[in-house]
A and B are shown apart, each in its own frame.
Chain A
Amino acid sequence: MNMIVTPASPATPNGTTRPQVRIVIVGHVDHGKSTLVGRLLHETGSLPDGKLEMLKAVSARRGMPFEWSFLLDALQTERDQGITIDTTQIRFRTNSRDIVLIDAPGHAEFLRNMITGASQADGAVLIIDALEGVRDQTRRHGYLLHLLGVKQVAVVVNKMDRVDFSAERFNEISDEISAHLLGLGVKPTAVIPISARDGDGVAERTDRIGWYKGPTVVEALDRLEPAQPLEALALRLPVQAIYKFDDRRIVAGRIESGSLIAGDEIVIMPAGKIARIKTVESWPVTPVAGRQGAGRSVGITLDRELFVERGDIIAHANSAPRETRRLRARIFWLHDKPLAKGDQLLVRCGPKESRATVVAIEKAVDPGELSSVENKAIGLNHVGEIDISLSNSIATDPYTENPRTGRIVIEVSGRIAGGGLVLSVDAGQRALPVDIVPVESALRPDERSARYQHNGAVVWLTGLPASGKSTLAKALERRLFSNGGSPILLDGDTLRAGLNSDLGFSAADRSENIRRLAEVATHLARNGHIAIVAAVSPAREDRAAARHIADTSFREIHVATPAGVCEERDPKGHYKKARAGALASFTGIGNDYETPQAAELVIDTSTRTVAEAADEIEQMLKTTGVLFDEVVDLAANI
């Protein structure tokens, strides 16, 4: 969870408000994290009654001297191992802040827990043992704070009692860690000498550290600022879901940045469709008036019916995020198996997800060592920069422009395996829409439709090989042309010979094949033609993408001839070859054809003639407003 906390904060019963700040304490194992937390709780008077006594009693029962860290080690498993396992949230108060402390462990094995905790923090305390100095985990945690976007970092040099409170030793460590953090773009807010066990520097500047003039730990915490909501940035409303519980069609999501109000003109990315916000819906009172800002979970209705889906981003038209299929990201990796070039992944960017392939890996490094740079793979707990190719377009921002939408999470086998920041989008793979100035046709759509007696459309025939798609497509083409229309056939196989000759039959290539078909067909449809596409298009996701591109002009026809009949027909001999194992990735004999669930028309060619099927298509095109009904049209022109 990564909640934005504003300065406006918990109202206490007596009416005062105090900013709430979430902090995380990180550092190398055994450098005294838990001890510092125990001490902080004690110094700020935050311990529950009896807790200290209870733990002292437990220690006595186990024959161990009491340690401050026992306070946190509430789990028996932790006490057994002598390390803290996971994040614990503890609250205490400084002079002017409510501090929510997210305790994170120092043990290398549990970096995923440190990340889980630190990702929720507004600020961090990085703890270093004065005797041991900066260690690999110290550097690693520093690096991860940078990747997680935690900007406020206070460094404490602990166990000063073990180095006789030496100012010289302190300065040495202070210089080293400051240089490391500054190199990552993180400026420490303070570097504080302390002894967590004895209390020096925690809440008091004792004589033993009389040479130190900076803030104590409690004072440093008191100066932390809560994260600000990103209201000043451009609007980003990632769509979580579309709800149709009643007559309203509500687009639901959380505003990650910017703000919106009913009446705003918005663009839905990546498709780039424009609409206006009709209402902001709520419960129990609805609709709600007024502006809604970053951090709110909202529901909106639009002034027109558009295809909107989970993962789309709603923005204002003049400040939309970029659409891309190519990303460069700086990531941390938490999976046992190293991430390598060519790996297939699932990438999440907000609610949007897309399959992806790692195209290149650069600057892979163990952030604890920083010396061992390699470019083949990113190992467990290491970081690196990667280029990713996405099978679906996504809308995103570089993290420097928007820290909320400019970050990704990587999933492997259904489990989160890494994450990081979007450094740049596109990498020259596709031109940015902002750079394109489309030349508009000299003809208006209504001029063409008056001549053709139809509107532009994309008629998409999907079905198993040999189901009769091409036959139907040709019959329909002939019929429409005879009636004075302008049909154009786009056959999947024909286009593969030219436009799509660079594509194979992998899932990613099939998706791209479909995308190109859909783009060409949509262009024709926008210019008043009826594009007839005949393509197996087995993946539901790909067809949804095609519908997305063609939008309201899309008419899907499922040519649902039974599989057995298709195989019997086999005009191209493909089934035979596939059965013999000579044709890889052949759709038809496996279960890889995903049946359409909302096609405008379903036709079984085994039970009707070609002419009958063409009749049905023509009828569907009439009822869905593509073909003009002649009588009505004549009447309208009188």
Chain B
Amino acid sequence: MHLLKDDSAANGLSSPAFTVRAPAKEFSADLAPSMDHLDQLEAQSIYIFREAFGRLKKIALLWSLGKDSNVMIWLARKAFFGRLPFPALHVDTGKKFPEMYRFRDHYGKEWELDLRVEPCPPIDAVDPTLPPAARSAARKTEGLKMALGKYGFDGLIAGIRRDEEATRAKERVFSPRGLEGNWDVRDQPPEFWDHFNASPPQGAHLRIHPILHWTESDIWAYTKRENIPIIPLYLSQNGKRYRSLGDQDITNPVASTASNIDEILVELEETKVPERAGRALDHETEDAFERLRVAGYL
């Protein structure tokens, strides 16, 4: 008897993964423990992961190595009982921090990821009318398109959040992309009651955003609760830390004394500086970020 849907990404799985067997113990049939805010976020994200895996044919998770995508991998392992049953795709600009590459190589193995590292084209191949930092980031979009062409994914899981940036607030959880990978903000299908539009046209793909409803504080609180490893660049050294990690040449640290996650949470409680303040490309022109997103940037 076959129990998995024929045409879903759930086909052809293997790879045993590590689970901890809990000691059998007596439990009472009392009321269920109430769910806190992080429990609710987690349950929602798990639901989204399982929908993406069940309803699309060939998916991959975009692993940027940052705090958000590490939380995503953790959530996916919760959804699938310890494993990531699809590839983790790192579109590599070649300009990340050395700490990020070390992190990738170490945890790619430890978490038994099916890691695919895909390069980006040279800068000359990118729209020369974009401002310098945006042009550099647009390289990544090109790299992504190349990877899409190479593997034929019909769904890419991305760790964007609504609270990061105004244009991202417009996103759907299942966000259709055009044949060129572009995002049509004007013609987004309705999405409600956890029913997602999961039928991309032939040759196009969907972006799936399992942590769209999380905030920066949620990410850190969850990272702490679950003890998810992080890149040390997020913690303060010499009065500075990175709130968001991108390419070395277009990412700057912010002034901060937060040297552990608790201190980051206190800092976020008080700050009114936007998270992507250290990302040069967000500030070049009013519409640079949106132009990138329409063209298929994350």
Enumerate chain A interface residues (CB-CB to B < 8 A).
Answer: 1-6, 8-14, 20, 47-49, 58, 74-77, 85-91, 112-113, 115-116, 119-120, 148, 229, 231, 240-246, 248-250, 252-254, 259, 261, 281-297, 299, 307-310, 334, 348, 351, 407, 409, 414-416, 419, 540, 547, 597-598
Contact = CB atoms under 8 A, between A and B. Distances in A.
Contact of B35 (A12, A119, A242, A296): A296
Interface stretch (B118-126, B139-147, B267-275): B267-275
Given A74-B167, A283-B77, A597-B6, A229 B35 contact: yes
Contacts of A3: 40-41, 44, 213
A291 to B, nearest CB: 4
Nearest to A20: B37
Interface string B73-107: 00001111111010000000000000000000000
Interface stretch (B20-28, B62-70, B127-135, B245-253): B20-28
Contacts of B72: none
A598 B195 CA distance: 30
Interface in B29-84: 29-37, 39-44, 46-47, 50-51, 53-54, 77-83
Contact of A88 (B35, B80, B166, B190): B166
A10 B219 CA distance: 12
A119 B195 CA distance: 11
Interface in B145-199: 162-163, 166-167, 169-170, 172-173, 185-186, 188-195, 197, 199
Nearest to A415: B189
A58 B47 contact: no
B221 interface: yes
User: Which of A91, A249, A294, A409 has the most chain B CB within a 10 Å cutoff?
Assistant: A409
B255 to A, nearest CB: 13
Place the interface of chain B in its size category: 35 or more
Interface of B: 1-6, 10, 13, 15-22, 25-37, 39-44, 46-47, 50-51, 53-54, 77-83, 85, 162-163, 166-167, 169-170, 172-173, 185-186, 188-195, 197, 199, 212-213, 215, 217-218, 221, 262, 265-266, 269, 272-274, 286-287, 290
B195 A289 contact: no
B3 A1 contact: no
23 contacts: A1-B213, A2-B192, A2-B194, A3-B213, A10-B217, A75-B167, A86-B185, A91-B215, A112-B188, A112-B190, A116-B172, A116-B190, A229-B35, A231-B31, A240-B54, A285-B22, A286-B21, A287-B22, A288-B22, A295-B40, A307-B3, A419-B190, A419-B193
Contacts of A10: 36-37, 217-218, 221
Contacts of A334: 190
Given A2-B194, A310-B5, A285 B20 contact: yes
B39 A296 contact: yes
Given A348-B195, A416-B191, A241 B10 contact: yes
A229 B36 CA distance: 12
Contacts of B27: 261, 289-290
Given A11-B36, A113-B190, A351-B54, 7 more contacts: A4-B40, A87-B169, A112-B189, A241-B53, A286-B21, A296-B43, A416-B191
Nearest to B53: A241
Contacts, number: 239
B166 A11 contact: no
A550 to B, nearest CB: 12
Contacts of B29: 261, 291
Contact of A598 (B1, B21, B44): B1
A254 B80 contact: no
A13 B4 contact: no
A635 to B, nearest CB: 30
Given A296-B35, A307-B1, A243 B81 contact: yes
Contact of A85 (B4, B20, B185, B189): B185
B193 A119 contact: yes
Given A246-B16, A289-B25, A415-B197, A12 B32 contact: no
Contacts of B212: 1
A62 to B, nearest CB: 10
A10 B34 CA distance: 13
Contacts of A293: 31-35
A252 B2 CA distance: 16
Contacts of A85: 170, 185-186
B193 A2 contact: yes
Given A295-B40, A547-B1, A231 B186 contact: no
A281 B22 CA distance: 10
Contacts of B33: 290-291, 293
A290 B34 contact: no
A6 B221 contact: no
A47 B274 CA distance: 10
B188 A113 contact: yes
Contacts of A291: 29-33
A70 to B, nearest CB: 12
A88 B54 contact: no
A240 B4 CA distance: 11
Contacts of A250: 81
